[in-house]
Amino acid sequence: MISVTDRLVFTLRFHVVTAFILVHAFMIVINVRLGSSWNPIDPETAAPARIPVQVRIYRFHLYHRCVPDKPIFSQILTNTLEQSAIFFLSTMALSTYLDGKGEMKLIPVLFFVFALGRIAFAYL
């Protein structure tokens, strides 16, 4: 039987996936904000009016406003941060209750499902 600390360390190692998802969400928001920042020389962003602009992220064309109150990417980042905190706490608590190597196989499966769910939420 594996000790509780071994199970917690095993689970913490998989939380690298969660950290990667969070960093990726932060990078998307940073790229969008830098791409649509205020530029007084550019006539599209010089006016205080909200002018729709097209932002290209990877292969996806997404539309948002130049000076958004709360763009969709910030909402995705906020939701991802909230879900990651809940997922971290729940997997750490679950790993203390699982016994043996057979039950600990559930942890990588949960991380895979979490990563797929975040990708589906952000891009689909």
Of the chain, the end-to-end C-alpha distance in Å amounts to: 42
Pairing of strands 60-65, 52-57: antiparallel
Burial class of 61 by CB neighbour count within 10 A (0 to 12, 13 to 18, 19+): exposed
pTM over 0.75: no
Amino acid at 99: D
pLDDT tens for each residue of the chain, 124 residues long: 588 899 999 999 999 999 999 998 888 888 777 766 666 666 665 555 454 444 555 444 444 444 344 467 778 888 889 999 999 999 999 999 988 778 889 999 999 999 999 888 877 7
State pLDDT tens for residues 17-49: 999 999 988 888 887 777 666 666 666 655 554
Residue (of 28, 4, 10, 12) closest to 96 by Cα position: 4
